[in-house]
Amino acid sequence: MKTDLLQMVDNGGCSAKLSPRQLEEFLKYLPLPDDPNILVDIDTHDDAGVYRVNDDLALVFTTDFFPPVCSDPYEFGQIAAANSISDVYAMGGDPVIALNLMMFPASKLPIETLAEILKGGSDMATEAGLRIIGGHTIDDFPPKYGLAVVGYVHPQRIITNAGARPGDSLILTKPVGTGIILAGQKLGLASSEDVSAAKSIMKQLNRSGADIMKKNNIKGATDITGYGLAGHALKMARASHVTINLNMKEVPLIGNTYRLADEGCIPGASFRNLDFAEADTFFGPEMDYNLKMIAFDAQTSGGLLICAPSGTERKIVNELKNAGLTSSSIIGYVTEFNKQYLHLKDA
Ligand code: CO
Ligand code: CO
Ligand code: CO
């Protein structure tokens, strides 16, 4: 019988991250090195660190790894790699080289399963034009996989969490719901169509979205992963000292995400994300509970949230749709800071 990786985990994919509150607590103890060549560090909670090599070149450096988010080892490899590379794309970089990070229970699973995970990662890296030049493997249960990725970016063209400006429109490039659909799959409530739709969204590289951001000189963006759409929007609002307004009615959803949320398929990570963000969030009057929880649903390998200067948003959405990101939508806007960093509405 084929190995079913999903049976081995409670929280797969990015929902296995430590809560954002725990992250903030321990980051206080991590001293920040002082070096003028460090252009981006953990101070702004950006997707990756950026280090200047010279006036024309900086390195974008990032890592992500997590336990299985699907049953099939090859697909798990593809999704984990697409998710790891995404943080380079979110910052306007071009991925160049990577290392495999593999934790694998060699006494519990056949070694072919490991090979399939690596093959999935390698094929996704090839699709991204990224070369995997090594890695590290330790014995561990359940398996975990991801990449450490180095990309190139021009020091003047870095896209960050701190780049949101009042007047910008917010564009989301992929529909949301991967955490809810995964929970629905475990409870036997999600259809196979929903599960395969979620997997194809997670396998989609953010490469074309990044190309379109660069072409349009975008300054602010992030990718949507474990802290959910609202959690990552909040991190961007804080780093930019602005208020981000999201209209959950405009947010595209994968398949039956809403129905599954209504049936209670809401993973624990969503509640942790909500708990972290609540004090900084204004909720619209009588906000729909399911849409509120969808806003905080932990995404794995989610889309880009792009700050498009006023007047450019429709053109950029058209370019994204023409590039195959057919769910791309304008889902909100940025204003001067107004009492709370995040305003979440459903009307
Ligand atoms: Co990220
Ligand atoms: Co990341
Ligand atoms: Co080693």
Q: What residue ranges do the domains of the chain occupy?
A: 5-153, 169-345
Residue 44 pLDDT class (50, 70, 90 cuts): confident
Structure tokens at 114: 């490991």
Residue 34 CB contacts under 8 Å (≥ 6 apart), including other chains: none
Which option is the CATH number for 169-345: 3.40.50.720, 3.90.650.10, 3.30.70.920, 3.40.50.150?
Answer: 3.90.650.10
CA of 272 to the centre of ligand 2 (A): 17
Q: Which fold does the domain 5-153 belong to in CATH?
A: 60s Ribosomal Protein L30; Chain: A; (3.30.1330)
Residue 45 pLDDT class (50, 70, 90 cuts): confident
CA of 252 to the centre of ligand 2 (A): 22
Is residue 307 part of the annotated active site? The answer reads no
Contact 260, 180 (CB under 8 A): yes
pLDDT digits (tens, 9 = 90+) for 85-143: 999 999 999 999 999 999 999 999 999 999 999 999 999 999 999 999 999 999 999 99
Tell me the average pLDDT across 55-68.
96
Q: Which ligand is nearest to the CA of 161?
A: 1
Which helix (H) or strand (E) segment holds residue 238: the answer is: helix 228-240
Q: What percent of the chain clears pLDDT 90, i.e. is strictly above it?
A: 88
Q: Which ligand is nearest to the CA of 138?
A: 3
Tell me the average pLDDT across 239-266.
97
pLDDT digits (tens, 9 = 90+) for 167-184: 999 999 999 999 999 999
Residue 16 pLDDT class (50, 70, 90 cuts): confident
Q: Which ligand is nearest to the CA of 87?
A: 1
Alpha carbons 300 and 262: distance in angstroms, whole number:
21
In the predicted structure, residue 232 carries a pLDDT above the cut 60? yes
Q: Range with the lowest mean pLDDT among 32-36, 86-90, 148-152, 328-332?
A: 32-36
Tell me the average pLDDT across 269-276.
94
CA of 132 to the centre of ligand 3 (A): 14
In the predicted structure, residue 266 carries a pLDDT above the cut 70? yes
Residue 257: C-alpha distances to residues 132, 177, 192, 263, 289 (Å): 35, 5, 13, 10, 13
The whole-number pLDDT of residue 270 equals 94
Q: What angle do CA 68, 293, 49 make, to 5 degrees?
A: 55
In the predicted structure, residue 1 carries a pLDDT above the cut 70? no
Residue 151 pLDDT class (50, 70, 90 cuts): very high
